[in-house]
Amino acid sequence: MASPVTPTPLLKDELDIVIPTIRNLDFLEMWRPFFQQYHLIIVQDGDPSKVIKVPQGFDYELYNRNDINRILGPKASCISFKDSACRCFGYMVSKKKYIFTIDDDCFVAKDPSGNDINALEQHIKNLLSPSTPFFFNTLYDPYREGTDFVRGYPFSLREGVPTAVSHGLWLNIPDYDAPTQLVKPRERNTRFVDAVLTIPKGTLFPMCGMNLAFDRELIGPAMYFGLMGDGQPIGRYDDMWAGWCIKVICDHLGWGVKTGLPYIWHSKASNPFVNLKKEYKGIYWQEELIPFFQAAVLPKECTTVQSCYKELSKQVKAKLGKVDDYFIKLADAMVTWIDAWDELNPSGQLPNGKSRSHSASVPAAAKATNSDSIVE
Amino acid sequence: MASPVTPTPLLKDELDIVIPTIRNLDFLEMWRPFFQQYHLIIVQDGDPSKVIKVPQGFDYELYNRNDINRILGPKASCISFKDSACRCFGYMVSKKKYIFTIDDDCFVAKDPSGNDINALEQHIKNLLSPSTPFFFNTLYDPYREGTDFVRGYPFSLREGVPTAVSHGLWLNIPDYDAPTQLVKPRERNTRFVDAVLTIPKGTLFPMCGMNLAFDRELIGPAMYFGLMGDGQPIGRYDDMWAGWCIKVICDHLGWGVKTGLPYIWHSKASNPFVNLKKEYKGIYWQEELIPFFQAAVLPKECTTVQSCYKELSKQVKAKLGKVDDYFIKLADAMVTWIDAWDELNPSGQLPNGKSRSHSASVPAAAKATNSDSIVE
């Protein structure tokens, strides 16, 4: 939806924007009207000695690999290197209630009327309105202006449930895998679908990390992007992995996941040959992963995201360990991730979505002298 | 989607248009460019002595209550009277592979470019392309031009499954229940959402009969609109009932249900006070019906729609009979419906979607001299 830039943006002090990058962040210029009043967490991937330039006027903290290693110590092993999966470190060090994460090759898209789309504002609307995972509403998001629940929608379900995740889409370059990129090199997404919908309970989806927002207090500890890239047999499945995990956990805990608006403009297709190399194991592994996640059941005793996630890691080890040893390593990394999360977020995750004090913000890594100052 | 009117329409000899009505069918004038080459089955509700005028040039057969009673004999008890649920009689007497049904207060809608929408053509496209009920594709219908499966979509699921039902939407007057109509008398649906999507397996939805198409050979015997209207304690749940039944059966048999495009223009809101009287039992009954259908499991032995539907009728009687005696009567009517279906369609329903001969078409009721000529 087109929206004018608001003078006081929504959730200004309750949301961090997390950007993984290996290059200067010139792309932020186009986002200035929408992002400048928010705080950025930049996770620098690759060579930590490289200097990443951030356009003037943005409020940010930046972490490179040295920072990650210093802050997490041995637990830094759970954070991927040379893969955008490293972005999840930013989720962990944030102290805000909400996270928006975006790739640095994504720009402001236009709606069919030619207006700039304020993607962040739409994500916030998605997160602040309930979800409806238990029954499908044929007019899509029933909470949107001009829409409601249709005839036959049970009244007992019309309050909805808290929304944990808002998954946005992409105009121009669609998020295709390497085989599809190779087969359809010129395909562009030009269709603006003016809808937001809740992905029903029990249904998995391919979550893309390019344009994604979530309630960190609700689902943050499950938003782990796995072990990808350097030293790992796989890449480009970081967001997929996280998406399958968060969906199973949201379904278990009764929270919603939305997809649809907002669109961003995805400018640059990644190299399909490089992607194929990263993906090929994932392409056949996912044939085992999807049935695994479709069948995954969490016990009633798991009432926090952390306990759900640790339980899921056990099931990953037990069932996917047979597929490849990689999943044993990944299951261990899932536990390490939770331990690191709890260490950096000692007050614990509030499972009921109540807001907590945000006064104890993490100092910028650039100013931190040792990890103690980070973990408070 | 805007589409030019094609000189030779798709599936011209394989699709019937079923219209329930109590009035002259002037609304067909607007549909002439899209419907004139198809065969219409008009089910006249209410007083059979009233003469329904059909605009010249349309090829149709018309059934009133006397025809229904004559053709079905005692089994006519399963066909509702004074309720648009009577339309399902038209599904039963058709001999075509596909059905499109539309209400007589629905007109041709325009797409955002101002072009007339050929609703029937879009329904046919929906029905002729596969569905994807097992995993959600974030770019919606992956078979549509300019779109595909996104990264992370399992390749083993990309063939899709046969599409049994195409559920279209409505611009202008949305399909609201009486309470919502009363609370929001001026709400109009102006949002054109340019998408078709498969409703995931395991998810129920409120199916509206206003603008609906289906593969009669696949799912026809389950498309029973129940007992509504005259002599019944409930109305306006005919399509909902059918929607819950067909979804459970499609999920069991591995077929898809799509919703979204095409839009029609719904011109006239029905009277909310009258609707409230028809609906009020349904409004609280549905709180029991939805959990019932969500939990319904059909045994593996049920491999035809008929056997699924009879099994469902048993479960309705056993479990919903406790809610109200009405459901015992409805369960019996479900069995009568199947018996009547099989009588009028003696070659049986082919569960695998193979096409069969359409040469044995039902003669127009107006020409039929007795029920034998109808049941061949």
Query: Crossing angle for the helix pair A28-35 and A119-128, nearest 10 degrees?
Result: 50
> Who contacts A17 (Cβ-Cβ below 8 Å, separation ≥6)?
A35, A38, A39, A40, A41, A99, A100, A101, A102, A120
> Can you name the residues that pair with A166 across neighbouring β-strands?
A213, A258
Q: Is the pLDDT of residue B354 over 60?
A: no
The verdict on residue B375 lying in a domain is no
Answer yes or no: do B146 and A177 touch at CB < 8 A.
Answer: no
Cβ atoms of A28 and A55 closer than 8 Å: yes
What integer pLDDT is reported at residue B2 of this predicted model? 52
pLDDT in tens, B3-18: 555 567 899 999 999 9
Q: Is the pLDDT of residue A65 over 50?
A: yes
The mean pLDDT of A330-356, rounded to a whole number, is: 78
Put simply, whether A238 touches B (Cβ < 8 Å) is no
The neighbour count for residue A342, using CB atoms within 10 Å, is 15
Which of helix, strand or coil describes residue A236? coil
Cβ atoms of B112 and B63 closer than 8 Å: no
The verdict on residue B353 lying in a domain is no
The neighbour count for residue A231, using CB atoms within 10 Å, is 11
What integer pLDDT is reported at residue A268 of this predicted model? 85
Which of helix, strand or coil describes residue A21? strand
Torsion over CA: B29, B33, B37, B39 (sign):
negative
Q: Is the pLDDT of residue B359 over 50?
A: no
The neighbour count for residue A13, using CB atoms within 10 Å, is 12
Of A135, A175, A279, Cβ closest to residue B150: A175
The verdict on residue A1 lying in a domain is no
What does the alpha-carbon distance between residue B315 and residue B328 come to, in Å, rounded to a whole number? 10
The neighbour count for residue A350, using CB atoms within 10 Å, is 14
Taking phi over 0 as left and psi of -120 to 50 as alpha, with beta for the rest, B165 belongs to beta
Q: Which of residues 277-296 of A touch B (CB under 8 A)?
A: 279, 283, 286-287, 290
Do the bridges between strand A163-172 and strand A211-215 make them parallel or antiparallel, or are there none, so unpaired?
antiparallel
pLDDT in tens, B40-89: 999 999 999 999 999 999 999 999 999 999 999 999 999 999 999 999 99
Chain A closest CA to B54's CA: distance in Å? 30
CB burial readout A68-100, b (16+ within 10 A) else e: bbbbbeebbbbbbbbbbbbbbbbbbbbbbbbbb
Q: Is the pLDDT of residue B1 over 70?
A: no
Cβ atoms of A264 and A106 closer than 8 Å: yes
What does the alpha-carbon distance between residue B355 and residue B352 come to, in Å, rounded to a whole number? 9
Helix (H) or strand (E) holding B20: strand B15-21
Cβ atoms of B194 and A192 closer than 8 Å: yes
pLDDT in tens, A286-304: 999 999 999 999 999 999 9
**Residues in chain A closer than 8 A to B169 (CB atoms):** 138-139
% pLDDT > 90, chain A? 89
Answer yes or no: do B138 and A208 touch at CB < 8 A.
Answer: yes
- CA distances in angstroms from B107 to B85, B175, B263, B265, B266, listed in the order given: 20, 15, 10, 5, 6
Tokens of B116: 């007339």
Cβ atoms of B53 and B25 closer than 8 Å: yes
Put simply, whether A143 touches B (Cβ < 8 Å) is no
Of B112, B203, B240, Cβ closest to residue A152: B240
Cβ atoms of B142 and A210 closer than 8 Å: no
- List the single residue in B with minimal CA-CA distance to A144: B191
The verdict on residue B7 lying in a domain is no
pLDDT in tens, B199-240: 999 999 999 999 999 999 999 999 999 999 999 999 999 999
Of A191, A203, A286, Cβ closest to residue B194: A191
**Residues in chain A closer than 8 A to B179 (CB atoms):** 155
Do the bridges between strand A196-198 and strand A106-107 make them parallel or antiparallel, or are there none, so unpaired?
unpaired
The verdict on residue B304 lying in a domain is yes
Q: Is the pLDDT of residue B301 over 50?
A: yes
**φ/ψ of residue A35, rounded to 5:** -105, -20
Cβ atoms of A209 and A104 closer than 8 Å: no
Cβ atoms of A279 and A235 closer than 8 Å: yes
pLDDT in tens, B229-272: 999 999 999 999 999 999 999 999 999 999 999 999 999 878 99
Put simply, whether A211 touches B (Cβ < 8 Å) is no
Of A148, A200, A259, Cβ closest to residue B187: A148
What does the alpha-carbon distance between residue B280 and residue B274 come to, in Å, rounded to a whole number? 10
pLDDT in tens, B159-198: 999 999 999 999 999 999 999 999 999 999 999 999 999 9
pLDDT in tens, A187-230: 999 999 999 999 999 999 999 999 999 999 999 999 999 999 99
The verdict on residue A374 lying in a domain is no
The overall longest dimension of chain A from CA atoms, in Å, is 60
Q: What angle do CA B127, B132, B134 make, to 5 degrees?
A: 145
pLDDT in tens, A74-93: 999 999 999 999 999 999 99
Global pTM value: 0.90
What does the alpha-carbon distance between residue B214 and residue B219 come to, in Å, rounded to a whole number? 7
What does the alpha-carbon distance between residue A90 and residue A341 come to, in Å, rounded to a whole number? 11
Q: Is the pLDDT of residue A63 over 60?
A: yes
pLDDT in tens, A241-282: 999 999 999 999 999 999 999 999 999 878 999 999 999 999
What integer pLDDT is reported at residue A224 of this predicted model? 98
Report how many domains make up chain A.
1
The verdict on residue B99 lying in a domain is yes
The length of chain B in residues reads 376
The length of chain A in residues reads 376
CATH number at residue B36: 3.90.550
Cβ atoms of B31 and B334 closer than 8 Å: no
Cβ atoms of A196 and A126 closer than 8 Å: yes
Tokens of A256: 């919603």
Q: Is the pLDDT of residue A357 over 90?
A: no
What integer pLDDT is reported at residue B48 of this predicted model? 97
**φ/ψ of residue B116, rounded to 5:** -60, 135
Q: Which domain holds residue A118?
A: 15-347
The neighbour count for residue B194, using CB atoms within 10 Å, is 18
% pLDDT > 70, chain B? 90
**φ/ψ of residue B282, rounded to 5:** -60, -35
Query: Crossing angle for the helix pair B272-295 and B238-253, nearest 10 degrees?
Result: 20
What does the alpha-carbon distance between residue B161 and residue B256 come to, in Å, rounded to a whole number? 6
Chain A closest CA to B53's CA: distance in Å? 31
- CA distances in angstroms from A33 to A29, A30, A120, A267, B48, listed in the order given: 8, 8, 11, 19, 66
Put simply, whether A104 touches B (Cβ < 8 Å) is no
The verdict on residue B228 lying in a domain is yes
- The strand ranges marked E within chain A are 15-21, 39-44, 59-63, 98-102, 106-107, 163-172, 196-198, 211-215, 256-266
| H-assigned helices in A24-107 | 28-35, 65-72, 88-93
The mean pLDDT of A331-338, rounded to a whole number, is: 98
